[in-house]
Structure 1
């Protein structure tokens, strides 16, 4: 659910031993860092349809042939950008599931208020439809981040706010879904009202047992 969040430098961080690197900080690592930083910067002004290997090469100082040899396509670069970008939106821990979900939704709204972040998720999803490798990265990275954030639901279950068999992954997915529908399908910006309604809907559904997976999952909720 949570795509990569920019670091303080606003560039993807260098990782210690990227694939193919012979040593940390070697030429391969520097090339990767330069190309991913250039792609990230290009998303400030370009959507995926306008982003080209040549533009990335010009900004990064890495020859276009080298980029094509290593990543093959723009989709390959975007896929690597997603997998190598650091950080996720922080997991709230207020002591209340309702407050945690609202804090998470506000963070998502703030994140997607930035045009570059909107373009990144659009580019990642588009790349996944064209490139099986990008699709695998999308599922692995974003799925892993949803599972990470789902820890706030596990804490709520320990406090007795929701049933112990509540599926935290599905709670977080339900909260995030309205954001991506708004961005990718309706092509409209997210706002504070969307954050509020997404969080409250996910909370009420979780509290009513909608996301239970165990013996009580098929029971009708009590009225009133």
Structure 2
């Protein structure tokens, strides 16, 4: 880029503002979450969001431009605001805390429908899908140290894939939430945490295959 060229403009919703702009962003994202929870992605109208947020429609269109851009910023904000990981010093208890957080989020009267709407939108909108993948990557990365510390303590085998262990906790909960319709209760969260911990201790998530057991001849 030459000295007289303007820098490329950031994508809508990617600049983190301060002051009044931050308050406007918070109000708009809160309103967008309400609309998604009530009517899904198809019902996400920027004019309606502006009205609910008490801001000018021009402001919303200028900052975000499209419903997909607004959802992307909403997911980024949700990732930033989500509860931090547990650090109990025991792998199973950490994974229990993770499972409890996922279950609580998906069964929340507002958050549950919001996530369902975003996931549905991600199946047909590339930008929403990218934002959803990024949200999940951030949340998995937040909990990875729990597994890495368990490896250091000797609770898990060396070369355990920490990301896969964290994903193994939430996967059965999302399956219940989206596909099976089975109850998403505390028992299911406990089972998910225990199963992931047991599989990890058995070496199921090692990044290299364990050597085959030697055959002992009589």
Q: Name the residue aligned to 1:207.
A: 201
8 Å contact from structure 2 (residues 76, 131) kept in 1: yes
State the match for 2:190 in structure 1: 196
1:176 correspondence with 2:196:
no
Q: CA deviation at 1:166?
A: 0.4
Deviates more, 1:157-166 or 1:65-74: 65-74
SS in 1 for 2:156: coil
Q: Quick one: distance in 1 between partners of 2:92 and 2:201?
A: 9
Q: Please give the secondary structure, in 2, of the residue aligned with 1:190.
A: coil
Matched, 1:58 2:54: no
Where structure 2 has 5 or more consecutive residues not aligned to the other structure, the ranges are: 1-12, 214-218
Structure 2 equivalent of residue 151 of structure 1: 145
Compute the TM-score of the two structures, normalised by the length of structure 2: 0.79
Residue 119 of structure 1 is aligned with which of 102, 113, 116?
A: 113
RMSD: 2.5
Partner of 1:91: 85
The 8 Å contact of residues 165 and 214 in structure 1, kept in 2 or not, is answered as yes
Residue in structure 2 matched with residue 79 of structure 1 by the alignment: 72
How far the C-alpha of 1:98 sits from its partner, in A, is 1.4
Which has the larger Rg? 2
2:103 alignment partner in structure 1: 109
- Asked if the contact 1:48/1:119 (under 8 Å) is kept, the reply is no
Residue 181 of structure 1: how far off its partner (Å): 1.2
Unpaired stretches in structure 1, ≥5 consecutive residues: 1-17
Give the TM-score normalised by the residue count of structure 1: 0.77
Deviations, residues 116-167 of structure 1 (Å, cap 9, x unaligned): 1112222322332333222222222321220220110001101101112000
The 2-side partners of 1:66 and 1:112 are apart by 31
2:26 is matched with: 33
| Aligned residue number for residue 123 of structure 2 | 129
